[in-house]
Amino acid sequence: MTLSELSLSYRDSAALLRERLRLLRQELRNSQDPIRAQLLKRRIADLTPLYRDCREIAAYLEHYYDRRGDRRGSH
């Protein structure tokens, strides 16, 4: 698997997480049960950093060779 393919895999994972977060937030808005609302908030809090990490890793991998080239040129 190339870094470009791996980047796409992270992008796909980020898209799935983004959609799941959207659904959880929607469910939270509609929730009348305080216990369920607390569980939803916890799940959102757990998934949010994973979503952010997937996006950041995808961007890093997309430009990995560009960065390596810049580092080599600065030595």
Residue 40: domain span: 3-74
Query: b/e for 13-50, b at 16 or more Cβ within 10 A?
Result: bbeebeeebeebeeebeeeeeeeeeeebeeebeeeeee
The per-residue pLDDT for range 22-71, each reduced to its tens digit, is 999 999 999 999 999 999 999 999 999 999 999 999 999 998 888 665 55
Structural domain count, the chain: 1
**How would residue 73 be classed by pLDDT, with cut points 50, 70 and 90?**
very low
- Beta-carbon contacts of residue 31 (< 8 Å; ≥ 6 apart): 37, 40
Longest CA span, the chain: 60
Element (H, E) at 60: helix 34-62
